[in-house]
Amino acid sequence: MNAPVPTQKGANAALGMSTFAFTACFAVWTIFSIIGVQIKQELGLTEAQFGLLIGTPILTGSLIRVVLGVWADQYGGRLVNLFVMLSAAAATFALSYAETYLQFLVAALGVGIAGGSFAVGVAYVSKFYPKEKQGTALGIFGAGNVGSAVTKFAAPFVMVAFGWEFVAQAWAAALALIAVVFYLTTKDDPDLVRRRETGEKPQAAWMQLSPLKSLQVWRFSLYYFFVFGAFVALALWLPRYLVGVYGLDIKTAGMIAAAYSIPGSLFRVFGGWLSDKIGARKVMYITFGVSLICTFLLSYPATSYVVDGIEGPIAFRLATDLVTFTVIAFVLGFAMSLGKAAVFKHIPVYYPNNIGSVGGLVGMIGGLGGFVLPIAFGFLNDITGVWTSCFMLLFVLVATALAWMHFAIRRMERARTPELGRLPELPEMAAIHPTPEPASPAPGGRLRAAE
């Protein structure tokens, strides 16, 4: 029996500081969820234009994840993360000087660099831990998503007091400071240290990208498109949604939206631990099942009915009040948090030598959800005039992901154990089915099913 692989020296500092740095990056990455509301009013933007504005940083942070993941494997996550954070800080500071819609979009592209820190952190942190602990470790790291809630809690008050320009400048300064602290308090990952000692060259980029041809990787990417992409999209969209549907002010809307963001981030730690204990596949079933119910309930628009009663028309109205909405959003965020950890539990297990590239692609597709979905939400609002259309779209998305996962798993199980295909669909009907004849040997010693 093989002895368990020990946790590498410096793992706690790497995990703790990476999580802290990712929290700061995520706070910057989602800054438009708050300041974008005031910018929308100042520029007179449509819903679709607003969706594009808040989604543009997500586009940059998603597209660069594959490249940054490969660089993290080649040059070390510590150095690459320093570069990412300082670049994002500079772009965020420059944002405060934008005046036109086009200038805001260009600045938002630079702000989005902060989102690339996720792929770097996954590749960096996972190399300090053995497989049986990677789910928990990456779950803790992924809890840095709570940076979205930090922005929702703090930015509205800062913006009301000093203006949105000061929010951008303050967030940029904090990110630059945390970048320096991160670099000074961590050490290079074990793989990079070993390569330096032995003179081994890093794996070529084209070899690291070869697993991306696997359909399984793209299936994982669809999962993450929902559990992470939809999480980011809703984190950006909910303040606007709450202002429009319930007539809240931006400070109250930001606080309530955090009720969605916080469980969607912090419970990722529990999702990682649970994936280590019961398996990532079971956790994904829980995630998709609960999310399917929540998005269905949130999809139902406020509706007034008139029923022809015995003594005349009976009028009543069905609508989700603010408290009920917040509770369901909390549950949805919790389910997504489990799924985010479970998806990335798969990657070091299936692709231990390509964590950066595979994690980068999965993270990229998930991040693209955070870009595409807010635009889709705004577009659906413009063409349907129904606020809950965003949740209708998410219902279709999670139903598709659940169906693909289930049928893929069934296909793999039948391929691994072909005798399952000869069993009756219902156990109680076994008595009326003939017992399958045992398989007979085929030429070459292989078993052949009885005909």
The residues, ordered by sequence, that sit 6+ positions from 308 with a Cβ below 8 Å of its Cβ are: 314
**pLDDT digit string (tens) for the chain, length 451 residues:** 444 455 667 788 889 999 999 999 999 988 988 898 889 888 988 877 887 888 888 888 888 887 888 888 788 888 999 999 999 999 999 999 998 999 999 999 999 999 889 889 888 888 888 877 777 888 888 778 788 778 888 888 899 899 999 999 999 999 999 999 999 999 888 877 887 777 666 555 445 555 566 677 778 888 889 988 898 788 778 888 888 888 888 788 877 877 777 766 677 778 878 888 888 888 999 999 999 999 999 998 877 778 887 887 888 777 788 889 988 988 998 898 888 888 877 776 667 666 666 777 787 788 788 788 888 888 898 888 889 899 999 999 999 999 988 888 888 767 776 665 565 555 555 555 555 555 555 454 444 333 2
Instruction: Give the integer Cα–Cα distance in Å for 240 and 40.
Output: 10
* Planar angle of CA 354, 358, 361, nearest 5 degrees: 150
Q: Are 146 and 23 in contact (CB under 8 A)?
A: yes
Predicted local confidence at residue 273, as pLDDT: 81
Predicted local confidence at residue 206, as pLDDT: 46
**Residue 57: left (phi > 0), alpha (psi -120 to 50), or beta?**
alpha
Predicted local confidence at residue 64, as pLDDT: 85
Instruction: Give the integer Cα–Cα distance in Å for 208 and 319.
Output: 51
Residues facing 312 on adjacent strands: 309
Strands 447-448 and 312-318: unpaired
Nearest to 339 by CA among 277, 285, 390: 285
What would the two tokens of residue 50 be? 């607003």
* Planar angle of CA 31, 104, 265, nearest 5 degrees: 20
Predicted local confidence at residue 425, as pLDDT: 58
Strands 440-441 and 303-309: unpaired
Instruction: Give the integer Cα–Cα distance in Å for 434 and 361.
Output: 48
The residues, ordered by sequence, that sit 6+ positions from 430 with a Cβ below 8 Å of its Cβ are: 423, 424
Q: What are phi and psi of 448, to 5 degrees?
A: -125, 130
**Residue 199: left (phi > 0), alpha (psi -120 to 50), or beta?**
left
Q: What are phi and psi of 318, to 5 degrees?
A: -110, 125
Predicted local confidence at residue 24, as pLDDT: 94
* Planar angle of CA 164, 374, 331, nearest 5 degrees: 95
Strands 312-318 and 303-309: antiparallel
The residues, ordered by sequence, that sit 6+ positions from 93 with a Cβ below 8 Å of its Cβ are: 168, 169, 172, 173
Residues facing 305 on adjacent strands: 316
Q: Are 193 and 305 in contact (CB under 8 A)?
A: no
Q: What are phi and psi of 45, to 5 degrees?
A: -80, 150
The residues, ordered by sequence, that sit 6+ positions from 300 with a Cβ below 8 Å of its Cβ are: 318, 320, 388
Instruction: Give the integer Cα–Cα distance in Å for 311 and 102.
Output: 61
Instruction: Give the integer Cα–Cα distance in Å for 168 and 108.
Output: 11
Q: Are 89 and 182 in contact (CB under 8 A)?
A: no
Q: Is 317 helix (H, G, I), strand (E, B) or coil?
A: strand
Output DSSP code: residue 230: I
Q: Is 441 helix (H, G, I), strand (E, B) or coil?
A: strand
Q: Are 362 and 217 in contact (CB under 8 A)?
A: yes
